[in-house]
Amino acid sequence: MTQTTLEPGLGVALAIRGLARRFGTQTVLHDLDLDISAGEFVAIVGRSGCGKSTLLRLIAQLDTPSNGSIAADGTPLARSGIDTRLMFQDARLLPWKTVLANVGLGLTGNWQARAREALAEVGLAEHADKWPSQLSGGQRQRVALARALIHQPQLLLLDEPLGALDALTRIEMQQLIERIWQHHRFTVLLVTHDVEEAVALADRVILIEAGRIGLDTPVALSRPRTRSATGFATLEENILNRVLQQPEGRPSTPPAEPAIAPGALRWAL
Amino acid sequence: MSVANTLYKRLAPWAVPVLLIAGWQWAAVAGLIGSRILPPPFDVLKAGVTLAQSGELWIHLKISFWRTAIGFAIGGGLGLLLGLITGMSRRGELLLDTSVQMIRNIPPLALIPLVILWFGIDEGAKLFMVAFGTLFPVYINTYHGIKSVDTGLVEMAKSYGLKGWPLFRDVILPGALPSILVGVRFAIGFAWILLIVAETISASSGIGYLAMNAREFLQTDIVVLAILLYALLGKASDVLARQLERIWLRWHPAYQG
């Protein structure tokens, strides 16, 4: 073993300039600028169809922008060669592979020991030889997290990974993600519709409204955070009010050019 | 309790066949059925023992088994290959699927006159019939299995750097396998049916020949024996196919516990 999986790695800084994504006549992201520093934990919130998942897919390179650019540590994303890992709302484990083999997916050589280590980090060491169908929903998401961690990602993208879990499992998973992030210090982008989750985890909460950044607010609470900490509830309420004051899918300031009918965006995602 | 339970589960499926045979034996002995119509099971057994002792039974069994096995290997192999091509490549689907669907709708039995003209009563005729009948169940289920592989899993695997052969081996083939095995089970059942037809029409060996030959000499016991042998062989090959499911689909919740 020349290297261990669980060495703390350094996150990557992202610079997004003039990013736009259009689907036919619909513009889902308008001319978006965003800077994320290395190792930062950023939560992106917004209503359904606001373009937050599209932003994540663009950063994951599962989709290509209509305009604008994304740079990682100063080089364009496609040429940067950074290791980005994406976690989905469903765990997407291969049901015909054991938990251990799922974690080692795409690895060659002697990966078993590293996979066991990654499983131990998410607390599932004793489930290594089970089939995914024998695990609970929360456990499956933890396997997906281990599968992402084994690649020592510099950027971890989370697309509502806790959306399908029950309340208790969610809180457990939030704590696990926070602990692992504090250990590895990669950059995290978490897309969520749960403002409380965003405030509990992120250094910074970004609200996307109709394809633009509506709010960009730092969370200056010390970690580990509790829901009862001073300022937690106020911040959560402020962000939530801001989300709610917006009629669904309608931008707060009129767009510079008449881009699309506001009603159309409601059904965009 | 659990031992009795296992024993019950093992034996219960055989209760109906055993009762049927017992009833049949009773009806034959009581004279309700003439032995020309249906000989008692004991006579059928005796005929089987005689044929087994002379070695004739094994020769016919062996040749029927090989015909099914080779015909199925050819037909199933081609079906798998074609299904993989049309399932994975848009161009392959465009070029081949319509043709395969057209040929699929020809009843295999309608081909018999042509097959006899082509192959006479040679081995080729039987193999062709079996291969023709097994190709399509395997083809359709392979195609359907590949089309129904979860696209989310494929996207995930690609984002983990899998492409080409590893993507096929680790994601697409295992995802399609439950459906492919349904096709295989169906095809095996069909293979025996077609073999019987082919052997009774034109053959000089095999179980079908045994039955047809016995009919000429009014040996009803041997005719019934041949029919029972087909039932047993069909069941045996289904057990084999199920065993494959148990091994290859052991990850599937339906095959656990």
pLDDT in tens, A83-116: 889 898 888 999 999 999 999 998 888 899 999 9
Task: Please check whether residue B251 lies inside any domain of the structure.
Answer: yes
**Yes or no, beta carbons of A88 and B252 under 8 Å apart:** no
Helix or strand holding residue A75 (H, E): strand A75-76
Tell how strand A67-72 and strand A14-23 pair up.
Answer: antiparallel
Phi-psi region of A119 (alpha: psi -120 to 50; beta: other; left: phi over 0): alpha
Task: Please check whether residue B4 lies inside any domain of the structure.
Answer: no
Task: Please check whether residue A133 lies inside any domain of the structure.
Answer: no
Closest to B71 measured CA to CA, from B197, B242, B254: B197
Task: Please check whether residue A70 lies inside any domain of the structure.
Answer: yes
Residue A42: give its domain's CATH number.
Answer: 3.40.50.300
How confident is residue B257, by pLDDT bands cut at 50, 70 and 90? low
Count of pairs with CB atoms under 8 A, one residue in A, one in B: 45
pLDDT at A4 over 90: no
What is the per-residue pLDDT for B36?
Answer: 77
Task: Please check whether residue A30 lies inside any domain of the structure.
Answer: yes
Tell how strand A41-45 and strand A187-191 pair up.
Answer: parallel
Of chain A, the end-to-end C-alpha distance in Å amounts to 45
Q: Which residue has the tokens 């000429």?
A: B216
ipTM for this prediction: 0.74
Q: How many CB atoms lie within 10 A of CB B116?
A: 15
- Chain B residues touching A97 at Cβ < 8 A: 170, 251
CA dist., res. A235 & res. A195, Å (int): 9
Task: Please check whether residue B110 lies inside any domain of the structure.
Answer: yes
**Nearest chain B residue to A99, by CA:** B251
- Residue in A60, A85, A131 nearest the CB of B251: A131
Amino acid at A158: L
CA distance B141 to chain A (A): 19
Task: Please check whether residue B147 lies inside any domain of the structure.
Answer: yes
Q: What is the CA radius of gyration of chain B?
A: 23
CA dist., res. B142 & res. A91, Å (int): 26
Among A87, A94, A141, A143, which would you mutate to test the B interface (most chain B Cβ atoms within 10 Å of its Cβ)?
A94
Q: How many domains does chain B have?
A: 1
**Yes or no, beta carbons of A96 and B153 under 8 Å apart:** no
Chain B residues 128-167 with a CB less than 8 Å from chain A:
152-153, 155-157, 159-162, 166
pLDDT at B121 over 80: no
Q: CA-CA distances (angstroms) from residue A68 to A14, A71, A170, A219, B5?
A: 13, 10, 35, 28, 69
**Yes or no, beta carbons of B156 and A88 under 8 Å apart:** yes
CA distance B153 to chain A (A): 6
Tokens representing B146 are: 């590949």
- Chain A residues touching B149 at Cβ < 8 A: none
**Residue A249: DSSP 8-state:** T
**Yes or no, beta carbons of A133 and B253 under 8 Å apart:** yes
Q: CA-CA distances (angstroms) from residue A77 to A69, A71, A81, A84?
A: 8, 5, 7, 10
Task: Please check whether residue A104 lies inside any domain of the structure.
Answer: no
- Residue in A90, A95, A133 nearest the CB of B152: A90
Residue B70: give its domain's CATH number.
Answer: 1.10.3720.10
What is the per-residue pLDDT for A133?
Answer: 92
Q: How many domains does chain A have?
A: 1
Task: Please check whether residue B53 lies inside any domain of the structure.
Answer: no
**Yes or no, beta carbons of B153 and A62 under 8 Å apart:** no
Q: What average pLDDT does range B25-48 have in this prediction?
A: 85
Amino acid at B185: R
pLDDT at A82 over 80: yes
**Nearest chain A residue to B149, by CA:** A94
Tokens representing B256 are: 């656990």
What is the per-residue pLDDT for A210?
Answer: 82
**CB of B101 within 8 A of CB of B154?**
no
Closest to A77 measured CA to CA, from A56, A48, A102: A56
Closest to A112 measured CA to CA, from A122, A120, A102, A100: A100
Q: Percent of chain B scored above 90 by pLDDT?
A: 35
**Yes or no, beta carbons of B160 and A90 under 8 Å apart:** no
| Dihedral Cα B224, B225, B229, B231, nearest 10 deg | 30
Task: Please check whether residue B219 lies inside any domain of the structure.
Answer: no
Q: How many CB atoms lie within 10 A of CB A61?
A: 13
CA distance B212 to chain A (A): 48
Amino acid at B96: L
**Residue A222: DSSP 8-state:** P
- Residue in A90, A94, A133 nearest the CB of B171: A94
pLDDT at A61 over 90: no
Phi-psi region of B150 (alpha: psi -120 to 50; beta: other; left: phi over 0): beta
Which residues have a Cβ under 8 Å from the Cβ of B200 and sit 6 or more positions away?
A: B208, B209, B211, B212
Q: How many CB atoms lie within 10 A of CB A192?
A: 22
CA angle (A1, A7, A119) in 5-degree steps = 80
CA dist., res. A256 & res. A30, Å (int): 10
Amino acid at A66: S
Find the domain containing A220 and state its range.
14-83+152-265
**Nearest chain A residue to B177, by CA:** A96
CA A33 to chain centre: 18
Task: Please check whether residue A89 lies inside any domain of the structure.
Answer: no
Q: Does residue B170 sit at the A interface (CB-CB below 8 Å)? A: yes
Amino acid at B239: V
| Dihedral Cα A163, A166, A171, A176, nearest 10 deg | -70
Task: Please check whether residue B124 lies inside any domain of the structure.
Answer: yes
State the sign of the Cα–Cα–Cα–Cα dihedral A125, A129, A135, A138.
positive
Q: CA-CA distances (angstroms) from residue A267 to A211, A237, B170?
A: 13, 26, 36
**CB of A51 within 8 A of CB of A29?**
yes
- Residue in A92, A97, A147 nearest the CB of B152: A92
Q: What is the pTM of this model?
A: 0.78
Q: Is the link from the previous residue into A132 a cis peptide, with omega within 30 of 0? A: no
Closest to B61 measured CA to CA, from B195, B165, B219, B194: B195
pLDDT tens-digit readout, B207-233: 888 888 888 888 888 999 998 888 888
- Chain A residues touching B153 at Cβ < 8 A: 92, 94
- Chain A residues touching B156 at Cβ < 8 A: 88, 92
What is the per-residue pLDDT for A2?
Answer: 39
Q: What are phi and psi of A14, to 5 degrees?
A: -115, 140
Task: Please check whether residue A39 lies inside any domain of the structure.
Answer: yes
**Nearest chain B residue to A103, by CA:** B160
pLDDT at B2 over 90: no
pLDDT at B147 over 90: yes
Q: What is the CA radius of gyration of chain A?
A: 19
Q: What average pLDDT does range B122-132 have in this prediction?
A: 89
- Chain B residues touching A87 at Cβ < 8 A: none
- Chain B residues touching A105 at Cβ < 8 A: 157, 160, 162, 170
CA distance A106 to chain B (A): 6
**CB of B207 within 8 A of CB of B199?**
yes
Task: Please check whether residue A146 lies inside any domain of the structure.
Answer: no
Question: DSSP 3-state helix, strand, coil percentages of chain A (rounded to 5)?
Answer: 35, 25, 45
Q: What is the mean pLDDT of chain A?
A: 84
Task: Please check whether residue A36 lies inside any domain of the structure.
Answer: yes
Among B150, B155, B159, which would you mutate to test the A interface (most chain A Cβ atoms within 10 Å of its Cβ)?
B159
Q: CA-CA distances (angstroms) from residue B129 to A85, B100, B108, B141, B205?
A: 52, 16, 7, 20, 16
**Yes or no, beta carbons of A60 and B159 under 8 Å apart:** yes
Tokens representing B111 are: 């081909």
pLDDT at A190 over 50: yes
pLDDT tens-digit readout, A222-245: 888 888 888 888 899 889 888 887
Task: Please check whether residue B212 lies inside any domain of the structure.
Answer: no
CA dist., res. A178 & res. A171, Å (int): 11
CA dist., res. A213 & res. A206, Å (int): 7
pLDDT tens-digit readout, A105-151: 988 888 999 999 999 988 899 999 999 999 998 899 999 999 998 98
pLDDT at A169 over 60: yes
Find the domain containing B148 and state its range.
63-203+225-255
